Amino acid sequence: MELSAATTTPPGGVRGHASPVPPLPGPLEQVAAILRWYEAHARDLPWRRATASPWAVLVSEIMLQQTPVARVLPAYEAWLARWPTPPALAADAPADAVRQWGRLGYPRRALRLHAAAQLISERHGGEVPSSVDALLALPGVGSYTAAAVASFAFGQRHPVLDTNVRRVLARMATGQQWPASGTTAAEIALARSLLPARPEVAARWSVAVMELGALVCTATRPQCAACPVAAGCAWRLAGSPAGNGRRASQPYQGTDRQCRGRVLAVLRDSDGPVSPAQLDAAWPDATQRSRALASLITDGLAERHSGGGYTLPAHPPGRLQPTGRLVKEPGNASGPGHMSPGR
């Protein structure tokens, strides 16, 4: 007996009346869905407003490297109130930048931002440059930060791959829970393929997918029920298989990093040179303490004072030449391709 079309078994294996299976959303629909979601859910952050200058965007990007939004907000406002332009910061000492940075963490960023302000003042007439190449030549600016500033401050079309974006693309497009530990050529090619053609829409897409990663497709608790691309998400459709795991976050308590922070806080809170005895009170372990002090001096965050004791830096090391010219230090941080929690 011949089976009628109404009683055949569909690919899903359920016998009965065949109903048309809607096609999965393609990449274009996913991009459009995320743009619509962003329209309705974007946080009102000061560096995203139309009034934010390129300098404000650069400051925000440097501060957001490895630091959550909630901690960045007050520091960002205070920084820009004090130094609304690069020349304003360049006119002050690096020690002022380190003091203003306060407890934001990874204080070399303050020195780099100061050196960037000097270079911008010297070579670009005090205006943040718009080209990716010129941005890459600034201290503290790596491939992520250059692409982010070119996109968000100047509306250009570049793939912007921070941790949040990489996680969303890994799940949505490639079905992996976690992206690779370092950015791969395949990821860059995928990000390029999804970029809308119009530069201003591409820039908006970049911030939209970043926001989706920060608010919905979070590292440990993705809220797939609230996600605009859930219907076509490769990882969700595969049953959300566990990936290879992520690097555990580093402990902080008792580490050299914590010791460094304590020693730097003593220098930061003092108007003059700090004696070794004052530093001794900052941390009980002498070996760790001297290691921390040596690393602060190496990083240009502390100096021996000619009259004895230690201070914050008068000049960034290896940047300001005797001629007054600035040179870029090798091994600049490349920005948060790696980490931007809570962005």
Stretch that binds ligand SF4, among 106-114, 128-136, 143-151, 220-228 (CB under 6 A): 220-228
Q: Considering only residues 217, 264, 279, 301, which one is a binding residue for ligand SF4 as defined by CB under 6 A?
A: 217
CB 333 within 8 A of CB 142: yes
Least distance in Å: CB of 90 to ligand SF4?
42
Longest dimension (CA), the chain: 104
Q: Considering only residues 222, 300, 313, 316, which one is a binding residue for ligand SF4 as defined by CB under 6 A?
A: 222
Least distance in Å: CB of 34 to ligand SF4?
9
Position 171 contacts ligand SF4 (CB under 6 A): yes
Cα–Cα distance, 257 to 146 (Å, whole number): 27
Stretch that binds ligand SF4, among 17-25, 34-42, 142-150, 215-223 (CB under 6 A): 215-223
Least distance in Å: CB of 65 to ligand SF4?
23
Q: Considering only residues 38, 47, 235, 283, which one is a binding residue for ligand SF4 as defined by CB under 6 A?
A: 235
Q: How many CB atoms lie within 10 A of CB 252?
A: 10
Q: Considering only residues 72, 135, 172, 279, which one is a binding residue for ligand SF4 as defined by CB under 6 A?
A: 172
Q: How many CB atoms lie within 10 A of CB 274?
A: 22
Position 236 contacts ligand SF4 (CB under 6 A): yes
Number of chain positions touching ligand SF4 (CB under 6 A): 14
What length is written for the chain? 343
Position 224 contacts ligand SF4 (CB under 6 A): yes
Cα–Cα distance, 273 to 326 (Å, whole number): 26
Distances (CA, A) of 257 to 108, 111, 244, 270: 13, 17, 28, 20
Q: Which is nearer to ligand SF4, 106 or 178 (CB)?
A: 178
Backbone angles phi, psi at 298, to 5 degrees: -60, -40
Cα–Cα distance, 147 to 283 (Å, whole number): 40
Active site residues: 61
Which helix (H) or strand (E) is 310 found in, with range? strand 310-311
Least distance in Å: CB of 70 to ligand SF4?
22
Backbone angles phi, psi at 21, to 5 degrees: -85, 120
Q: Considering only residues 138, 230, 266, 282, which one is a binding residue for ligand SF4 as defined by CB under 6 A?
A: 230
Radius of gyration of the chain, Cα coordinates, nearest whole angstrom: 25
| Long-range residue pairs from 275-281, CB within 8 A, at least 24 positions apart, any chain | 275/308, 275/309, 276/309, 276/310, 278/309, 279/310
Position 195 contacts ligand SF4 (CB under 6 A): no
Least distance in Å: CB of 147 to ligand SF4?
22
Least distance in Å: CB of 130 to ligand SF4?
32
Stretch that binds ligand SF4, among 21-29, 112-120, 165-173, 255-263 (CB under 6 A): 165-173
CB 177 within 8 A of CB 224: no
Q: Which is nearer to ligand SF4, 156 or 218 (CB)?
A: 218
Position 112 contacts ligand SF4 (CB under 6 A): no
Position 232 contacts ligand SF4 (CB under 6 A): no
Least distance in Å: CB of 24 to ligand SF4?
12
Percent helix, strand, coil in the chain, to 5, is 50, 0, 50
Q: Which is nearer to ligand SF4, 230 or 263 (CB)?
A: 230
Contact residues toward ligand SF4 (CB under 6 A) are: 168, 171-172, 216-217, 222-224, 227, 229-230, 233, 235-236
